[in-house]
Structure 1
Amino acid sequence: MRRLLLALLPLVTLLSACTSTDYDLVQTASIPPRFHDKDPQDFGDRTPQHHSIHGIDVSKWQGDIDWAAVKQSGVSFAFIKATEGKDVVDTRFSEYWPKARAAGIAYAPYHFYYFCSTADEQADWFIRNVPRSAVHLPPVLDVEWNGESKTCRYRPSPLTVQSEMKRFMDRLEAYYGKRPIIYTSVDFHRDNLVGQFNEHHFWVRSVAKHPVEIYKDRRWAFWQYTSTGQIPGISGNTDINVFAGSEKNWRKWVKAVSEPKQVAGN
């Protein structure tokens, strides 16, 4: 555990010294977009183009991906859907993560949480289907309301949500030796997560405004700023994200979290 805490210090330092508003001090008029966007938003002076590290998140819906072209376009990282609930595996996961690794793209698996299954059932399923070699960057827990689900629209209380999330993430941290990142949306964060899990890194969705405007007192590490991005090597729309820190911060953090850790069973 001491080694794990030491490994997390680079990003803790980054997020303490460099908040999401530091970039607002820079003039943005001359900053071109890194990637084409079918539905670009005007973020004003808080444009995500301030950030030097961009990445994508993908699932089976992206279909065939030319990972070498993705890397060459300037993509630094990829969050890849692995599992959902207690019995769903993304059909492209076992293909995507080795190809991302071969292309030199930092990668991490993510799990879409299903509130009609228990935290232990879902942790068991994730661990069964995601080898340690697929966890380069820390694993991601994707928590959001899914009002369009045909099988589960249950919305637990905030306390239940928080306790289930903690149980799931504690299981993954114990097994993989890396503290999970939390991905969330505006409404879910507002309903359940304000002031919670401050020891975890957050990946937030905010496609119309800068996160500082809509996530109350939340320090974020990753920002998903569009769902209509166009990435060379991928057909159709792709989510694009940025990392909060500088390129130097990024290199230090990736090196720290990708090193082997002492985990259960080793």
Structure 2
Amino acid sequence: MNDPAHSRPKARPKSRLGCGILIAPLIVLAGLGALGSKAWGPSRADYPVQGIDVSHHQGAINWPQLPGQGVDFAYIKATEGADFTDPAFAANWQAAGAAGVKRGAYHFFTLCRPGAEQAAHFIATVPVEPGVLAPAVDLEFLGNCTQRLKPTDVQGELTAFLTAVEAHYGQQAVLYLTGEFDEAYDISARFDRPLWLRSLVFEPRFGARPWTIWQASNFRRVEGINGRVDWNAMRGPATPQ
């Protein structure tokens, strides 16, 4: 307001554009540099609590090796849809707890089955235990069925899922979201829950409120896990104590 456009020297807008042209590639290069680093993660000074999310795709995990590598928490896949149980869930759940890793369970929400049926499956699979992280629900298109429902239908089925799960576990669920799913179904604006947002390398710029968990990488390597693993930062009231 104090520097209106019409009062600037004519060369000023051009120089600012030039800076923008230079800065944009630098940002891209910084991102590419992070992608090339198997050990990259968000700054510990800014986000001291960090962890992983896993499923049977990681194979056998040597959980006692993880705390010493900065794994403060782990979300473990439990269920998908109304009838799939992750075959590694029980082993991962027990071993993570024994290793002292703060743990939570998550459910992959499919668009092909009623929310109430999915909630019943999750409840039958994940035990109620004190001191664990809030249950999480994975909401994304990748790996989902090809059916695309109306936003009101998705919101209705998710409401049914959350109502049952939250009543059973006595905690608000965490909503894992990609930008595409949130945009398509207006989830973060419609459901006032902690957000777990996926945005590789760069902090999320979507969602109706600040994130509680940020999935920052899907290429982290840690000893005790074969191959890549998702890496996350956590902040706010969901931070494990």
* TM interval, short-chain normalised: 0.7 to 0.9
> Secondary structure at the residue paired with 1:96?
helix
Q: Which position in structure 1 is the counterpart of 2:13? A: none
Counterpart amino acid of residue 203 in structure 1: W
Q: Which residue of 1 aligns with 2:36?
A: 39
Cα deviation digits, residues 113-167 of structure 1 (max 9, x gap): 1111101111111111111139811111111113x55xx2111111111111111
Pair 1:220–1:80, CA change in 2 (3 A): same
2:109 is equivalent to residue 113 of structure 1: yes
Equivalent residue number for residue 191 of structure 1 = 184
- The aligned amino acid for 1:184 is L
Partner of 1:243: 234
- Aligned twin of 1:126: 122
Out of 45, 48, 51, the position equivalent to 2:42 is 48
Equivalent position to 2:217, from 226, 237, 240: 226
Q: Counterpart in 2 of 1:178?
A: 171
Indicate if the aligned counterparts of 1:110 and 1:139 stay in contact, CA closer than 8 A: yes
Please give the per-residue CA displacement for 1:41-67, whole angstroms capped at 9, x wherever unaligned.
9x9xxx821211110000001111111
Matches of 1:172 and 1:216, distance apart in 2? 22
Percent identity between the two aligned chains: 35
Higher relative contact order (CA 8 A, sep 6+): 1
CA contact (8 A) 2:220 2:229 kept: yes
Pair 87,135 (structure 1): closer, same or farther in 2 beyond 3 Å: farther
SS in 2 for 1:195: helix
For 1:91, the equivalent position in structure 2 comes to 87
Question: Distance in 2 between the 1:219 and 1:197 partners?
Answer: 13
Residue pair 1:38, 1:230 contacting (<8 A) in 2 also: no
Shift of 1:38: 5.9
Distance 1:222 1:64 in 2: 25
| Per-residue Cα deviation, 1:1-56 (whole angstroms, up to 9, x for no partner) | xxxxxxxxxxxxxxxxxxxxxxxxxxxxxxxxxxxx76349x9xxx8212111100
Aligned-partner SS, 2:190: coil
Paired amino acid for 1:65: I
Is 1:104 the counterpart of 2:100? The answer is yes
Distance 1:217 1:122, change over 3 A: closer
Quickly say closer, same or farther: Cα 1:122–1:216, change in 2 above 3 A: closer
Cα distance, 1:135–1:176 mapped onto 2, change above 3 Å: farther
Gap change, CA 1:254 and 1:136, over 3 Å in 2: same
Contact 2:56 2:89 in 1 (8 A): yes
Shift of 1:194: 4.7
Relative distance call for 1:111 and 1:58 in structure 2 (3 A) is same
Change (3 A) 1:48 1:126: same
Alpha-carbon distance in structure 1 between the residues aligned to 2:208 and 2:114: 29
Query: Could you tell me which of 132, 136, 143 is aligned with 1:140?
Result: 136
Change (3 A) 1:232 1:189: same
Q: Which amino acid aligns with 1:204?
A: L
Task: Return structure 1 stretches of 4+ with deviation > 2 angstroms.
Answer: 37-41
Aligned twin of 1:206: 199
TM-superposed CA distance for 1:232, in Å, is: 1.9
Pair member with larger Rg: 2
Alpha carbons 1:38, 1:229 under 8 Å: kept: no
Contact 1:109–1:139 (8 Å) recurs in 2: yes
Aligned partners of 1:201, 1:179: CA distance in 2, in Å?
Answer: 8
DSSP-derived class of the 1:68 partner: helix
Residue 76 of structure 2 corresponds to 80
Could you say what the CA RMSD is over the residues aligned between the two structures, in angstroms? 2.4
The count of corresponding residues between Structure 1 and Structure 2 is 205
Which residue of the partner structure matches residue 157 of structure 1?
A: 150
Gaps (5+ residues) in structure 2?
1-33
Instruction: Give 3-state SS (helix, strand or coil) of 2:189's partner.
Output: coil
Q: 1:167 aligns with which of 154, 157, 160?
A: 160
